[in-house]
């Protein structure tokens, strides 16, 4: 099977990691993968074993990309030439997300998306309102994808509420590669254990954001009261860092 994967190569974010890990897994299983992504002329064109197809853009960031006016034509022409069995888009990427169903229908290509934007249904603030708006804007277009991969029942409920048909949604929870991430000796852990004088060390590494449940982890840590011999290390940055620091100090 030949899969045309529309995803991100830079700037680095979780979507980049998701694309790298899944395409590598597909290649390891002998699938053919063509990787389409937004790139500017000066960018490095090396990738991890895939045939690469750059799409022109004016600007890109971790959050979103602004394609050039010719990008949709380049995308359509590339898919015509590649003749994949399946197109997968790792959303959200750019305004081309909204054109993909029309392009793939015209080319008679099945279209699958993984929809990454988080949504916190427990909070009522500007951030959660913006997240819900993203779901509302994308819903009419996701309804025309053949299948939409999401990560939780909460995501499913929200998307159904804003108009995506239930049968289009596939919940595949995040998992861990136990071959890659397994107990073993780590000099980094050894150094941290010595530095913090801990017999047991717990480490969270990642983005400090609402959807990562870092605050829930911190509350649970305080309630467990494991004593001075156990330490929790938070390694990362994100929008919640400044608001959490005053309540959870070094102690």
Quickly state the pLDDT bin for 67 (edges 50, 70, 90).
very high
Higher-pLDDT residue of 186 and 225 is 225
Query: Does residue 164 carry a pLDDT above 80?
Result: yes
Q: What is the DSSP string of 85-99?
A: SEEEEEES--GGGGT
What mean pLDDT do residues 224-238 have? 87
Query: Does residue 47 carry a pLDDT above 50?
Result: yes
Closest-CA residue to 117 (of 133, 100, 101): 133
Give the span between the Cα atoms of 97 and 6, in whole angstroms.
10
Beta strands in 137-181 (DSSP E): 147-150, 169-171
Higher-pLDDT residue of 236 and 67 is 67
Query: Does residue 100 carry a pLDDT above 80?
Result: yes
Closest-CA residue to 144 (of 111, 166, 173, 121): 111
Share of the chain above pLDDT 70, in %: 91
Q: What is the pLDDT of residues 136-157, one digit of tens each?
A: 999 999 999 999 999 999 899 9
Q: What is the pLDDT of residues 174-193, one digit of tens each?
A: 888 888 777 777 787 778 77
Give the residue extent of every domain in the chain. 2-171, 187-244
79 contact partners, CB below 8 Å, separation of at least 6? 4, 87, 103, 104, 107, 109
Lowest average pLDDT, out of 163-177, 178-192, 212-226, goes to: 178-192
Give the span between the Cα atoms of 131 and 138, in whole angstroms.
11
Q: Helices (H), strands (E): how many in the chain?
A: 8, 10
What per-residue confidence (pLDDT) applies to 126?
43
Q: Are 75 and 96 in contact (CB under 8 A)?
A: yes
- Which class does domain 2-171 fall in? alpha beta
Higher-pLDDT residue of 149 and 40 is 149
């Amino acid at each position: 099977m030949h899969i045309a994967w529309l995803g991100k190569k830079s700037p680095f974010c979780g979507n980049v990691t998701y694309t790298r890990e899944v395409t590598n897994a597909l290649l390891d299983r002998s699938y053919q993968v063509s990787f389409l992504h937004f790139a500017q002329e000066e960018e490095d064109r090396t990738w991890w074993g895939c045939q690469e197809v750059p799409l022109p853009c004016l600007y890109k960031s971790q959050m979103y990309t602004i394609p050039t006016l010719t990008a949709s034509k380049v995308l359509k022409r590339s898919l015509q030439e590649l003749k994949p069995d399946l197109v997968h888009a790792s959303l959200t990427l750019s305004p081309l997300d909204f054109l993909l169903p029309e392009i793939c229908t015209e080319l008679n290509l099945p279209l699958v998306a993984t929809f990454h934007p988080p949504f916190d249904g427990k909070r009522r603030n500007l951030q959660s309102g913006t997240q819900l708006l993203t779901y509302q804007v994308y819903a009419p277009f996701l309804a025309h994808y053949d299948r939409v991969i999401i990560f939780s029942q909460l995501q499913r409920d929200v998307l159904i509420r804003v108009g995506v048909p239930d049968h289009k949604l596939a919940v595949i929870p995040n998992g861990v590669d136990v071959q890659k991430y397994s107990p073993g000796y780590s000099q980094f852990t050894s150094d941290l254990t010595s530095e913090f004088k801990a017999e047991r060390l717990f480490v969270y590494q990642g983005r400090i954001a609402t959807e990562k449940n870092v605050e829930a982890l911190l509350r649970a840590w305080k309630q467990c009261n494991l004593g001075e011999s156990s330490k929790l290390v938070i390694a990362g940055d994100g929008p919640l860092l400044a608001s959490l620091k005053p309540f959870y100090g070094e102690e």
